[in-house]
């Protein structure tokens, strides 16, 4: 489940733009890109929430296009997959060349485009359990701008500090940039520790 702060992306950006003492101020679209990139980074590297989806092999391929996702989640891409299983046995991840060389003797899988994986050593019609990392939907404008920030509300300042730091860096305000990135790094450590505790890692 994607965390959803009470604060929306557009509201956070408006607040930051109103308080920053720099000129020129980056446009709202730039802040939006920074926020979307930050959310993707945090979910891919820190939160690392995993889900499993069943996919059916057809013609040596499994399509990810038909997978339904939860509210606020981005569509599943082949790059999001971390493991593939058949009947509880993990398939070895391989390069496309390995798939051609060793299939069908060894069950293998590899990325085959943005929304598809290729498999070898697995019969058509077989059902594979694919484990993937959940990530927030990309903010591309429109409704996504108003979507809640993909963080718990108590960590909204993590995102605010990162956006302030990026804006100050772009404006050449080195002292302010260092202050806000230092603040971001401290909050990032706290968020990582919080995520570890939720996973049972600490």
Dist. CA 112–CA 125, nearest whole Å: 18
- For residue 65, CA distances in Å to 10, 61, 111, 202 come to 29, 12, 14, 36
* Residue 202: predicted pLDDT: 47
Say how many CA atoms lie within 13 Å of 110 toward its Cβ: 15
Dist. CA 179–CA 143, nearest whole Å: 32
**64 with 55: CB under 8 angstroms?**
yes
- For residue 165, CA distances in Å to 31, 38, 58 come to 11, 12, 48
DSSP state of 60: T
For the chain, give every domain's residue range.
Answer: 24-47+137-197, 50-133
Structure token pair of residue 89: 């046995």
**17 with 164: CB under 8 angstroms?**
no
**135 with 37: CB under 8 angstroms?**
no
Which residue carries 């450590």 as its tokens? 189
* Residue 145: predicted pLDDT: 73
From first to last of its 202 residues, the chain has per-residue pLDDT tens of 789 999 999 999 999 999 999 988 999 999 999 999 999 999 999 999 999 999 999 999 999 998 888 888 999 999 999 999 999 999 999 888 877 777 667 789 999 989 999 998 899 999 999 999 999 998 877 766 788 999 999 999 999 999 999 999 999 999 999 999 999 999 999 999 999 998 875 4
Helix orientation angle between 156-170 and 9-19, rounded to the nearest 10 degrees: 50
- For residue 187, CA distances in Å to 8, 70, 194 come to 19, 27, 10
Structure token pair of residue 40: 């993707």
């Amino acid at each position: 489940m994607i965390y959803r702060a009470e604060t929306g992306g557009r509201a956070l950006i408006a607040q930051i733009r109103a308080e920053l003492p720099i000129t020129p101020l980056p446009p709202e679209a730039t802040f939006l890109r920074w926020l979307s990139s930050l959310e993707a980074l945090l979910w891919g590297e820190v939160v690392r929430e995993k889900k499993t989806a069943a996919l059916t092999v057809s013609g040596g391929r499994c399509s990810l296009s038909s997978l339904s996702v939860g509210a606020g989640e981005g569509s599943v891409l082949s790059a999001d997959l971390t493991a593939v299983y058949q009947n509880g046995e993990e398939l070895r991840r391989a390069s496309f060349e390995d798939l051609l060389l060793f299939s069908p003797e060894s069950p293998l899988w590899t990325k085959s485009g943005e929304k598809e994986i290729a498999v070898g050593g697995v019969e058509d019609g077989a059902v594979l359990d694919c484990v993937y990392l959940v990530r927030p939907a990309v903010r591309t404008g429109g409704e996504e701008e108003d979507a809640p920030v993909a963080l718990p509300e108590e960590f909204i300042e993590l995102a605010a500090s990162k956006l302030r730091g990026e804006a100050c860096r772009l404006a050449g305000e080195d002292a302010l940039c260092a202050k806000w990135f230092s603040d971001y790094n401290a909050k990032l450590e706290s968020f990582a520790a919080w995520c570890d505790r939720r996973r049972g890692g600490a």
